[in-house]
Amino acid sequence: MMKVDVVIDPHKEIGVIRPELHGHFLEHLGSAVYDGVWVGPESPVPNARGVRTLAIEYLRRLGIPVLRWPGGCFADTYHWRDGIGLPANRPRRMNLWWGSSVETNAFGTHEFIEFCRLIGAEPYLAANIGSGTPEEIRDWLEYCNYPGGTSLSAERVENGSPDPFRVRFWGIGNESWGCGGHMTPEEYCSAYVRAATYLTPLGGTIPYLIAVGPESNDIEWSRRFFEAYWNARKYRPPLHGFAMHFYSWGKSTPTAYTNETLREQLNHFTALERAIIDQRTLIDSFPVHPQGGRVGLIVDEWGTWDLSDKEVEKQRGLFWQQNTIRDAIAAGLVLNIFHRQADKLIMCNLAQLANVLQALLLTSGTSCIRTPTYYAFLLAREHRGGRSLSVEQNFNQSGSPSVSASETTGSITITLVNPDPSLPHEVRCTVKGVDTRHLDATILHHDDMNACNTIEHPDTIIPIPWTAETEKEALTIHLPPLSIARCTLTL
């Protein structure tokens, strides 16, 4: 039994936990889109305008704040005009990056915007700067956001959308250091400023322009990009966001983890917190943009990436990944990091929404289930919009509990994660000046690190009520191995 003391101070505020820190990502990869969320309006699978009905129900219940699309590596080979107009007339393209599969373009801009509306998410478009042109991105912006009176806005109206889409978030490329063009930071900076020059406010919507940041904590990429942006030119277009990617690569297939490989994967997320601090410090060492203010740090893609099971991929698609309690613990650890570093972040997007990598949903035929990761996000939902609070604990080592806390009007929410696969934790939380006796607790847990929700057994891992011992300003909660507990204190 590991015993840990934690002190939460409601008078020490870190920053507001923006809902966008719980964002998500959908790419044309494997079965994430097709047979994942999109089945088509003629499908026998219950759907609303082509979108899987159960996916809508589950995602609305979770409350997806923002959704990034169409990639990923796919974004820098995607030409948006392929995905508009009558579906029967859309070209069929080879998906260059993901298995050379055939992309039908049945799910395009209108379908994506409709999907976002159905689930209540704000759309985020990743534009093609690798194989596209500034003109192509500018035209996409006009097509989406201009109210009417131009040829492009008239084309949008003809395609069924009289009202503009008002897309605010625009990513200028993806992983330009790799699949997005293998550019140097200086080359990418030139490509960014050229494209951003033409992406102006239209119809009252001011585009939030997001540049490609580093892979993990690549300080050299970030430093050289910002030096090129600030030092090489007299006039500069707006720069609002800077997006890093961070994956924790696994050394086992999804349901074959051992104590050793589990600990190695989960411990890697400590490097994510270090990366957020380092990247924020570097960005803040450069001037504040007169048009855009402080450049926002974004974690555009994050999550677990396990070894692939080739036989499973043959049946279910590229990078299909069975989600387990381990993935839920990973999500709990990362969300706690985002909450604790809320003053440094603007947006964070889990990879990915359905079937691929660390997914919220898994689908098969007419079935759609929620994964343990889905429930980890559900437990953290109460933090959105709250004030992140200072958390201090008496020691922090590998396998020790992860804690975050926030306050909203009338309540304080505390999330505690035990990432150890064998050792239970006893955590005593002192909440300064707060009566903890009005407490509601919920836990997500399973004794088997490879336990998972499947189509046949969808409720193996679900949140259940939990208890904690309370006194005037403290609560003591017992966390079994591999568990996430949420405690809500009514003020």
Selecting among 175, 273, 382, 407, the annotated active-site residue is 175
SS3 annotation, 417-483? EECCCCCCEEEEEEECCCCCCCEEEEEEECCCCCCECCCCCCCCCCCEEECCEECCCEEEEEECCCE
Q: What is the pLDDT of residue 100?
A: 86
Q: Where are the alpha helices (DSSP H) in 146-217?
A: 151-158, 185-196
Residues 276 and 300 reside in one and the same domain: yes
Q: Where are the alpha helices (DSSP H) in 354-403?
A: 372-380
Give the SS3 label for residue 260: helix
316 pLDDT more than 70: yes
Residues 379 and 393 reside in one and the same domain: no
The CATH number given to whatever domain includes residue 442 is: 2.60.40.1180
Residues 67 and 99 reside in one and the same domain: yes
Q: Given its phi and psi angles, is residue 160 left (phi above 0), alpha (psi -120 to 50 degrees) or beta?
A: left
The CATH number given to whatever domain includes residue 379 is: 3.20.20.80
Residues 427 and 378 reside in one and the same domain: no
Give tens-digit pLDDT for 75-126: 999 999 999 999 999 999 999 888 889 999 999 999 999 999 999 999 999 9
Top pLDDT among 211 and 99 is at: 211
Residues 358 and 426 reside in one and the same domain: no
In this structure, are residues 443 and 487 in contact, taking their beta carbons and an 8 Å threshold?
A: no
Q: What is the pLDDT of residue 292?
A: 67
Residues 372 and 401 reside in one and the same domain: no
How many distinct structural domains can be found in the chain? 2
Give tens-digit pLDDT for 397-409: 777 899 999 999 9
- What average pLDDT does range 278-294 have in this prediction? 89
Q: Which residue, 348, 366, 384, sits at the end of a domain?
A: 384
Question: For residue 335, which amino acid is it?
Answer: L
Residues 403 and 366 reside in one and the same domain: no
Q: What is the pLDDT of residue 157?
A: 98
Residues 324 and 270 reside in one and the same domain: yes
Expressed as residue numbers, the domain containing 407 is: 2-9+389-490
Of 49, 103, 100, 99, the closest CA to residue 80 belongs to 103
Active site residue 175: yes
Give tens-digit pLDDT for 371-389: 999 999 999 999 999 999 9
Q: Which residue, 384, 404, 433, sits at the end of a domain?
A: 384
Residues 153 and 297 reside in one and the same domain: yes
Residues 435 and 313 reside in one and the same domain: no
Residues 184 and 197 reside in one and the same domain: yes
Residues 94 and 202 reside in one and the same domain: yes
* 352's tokens: 């990915």
Distance CA 52, CA 154 (A): 29
- What average pLDDT does range 303-325 have in this prediction? 94
Give tens-digit pLDDT for 31-79: 999 999 999 999 999 999 999 999 999 999 999 999 999 999 999 999 9
Percent of the chain with pLDDT over 90: 92
Q: What is the pLDDT of residue 491?
A: 86
Q: Which residue, 333, 355, 384, sits at the end of a domain?
A: 384
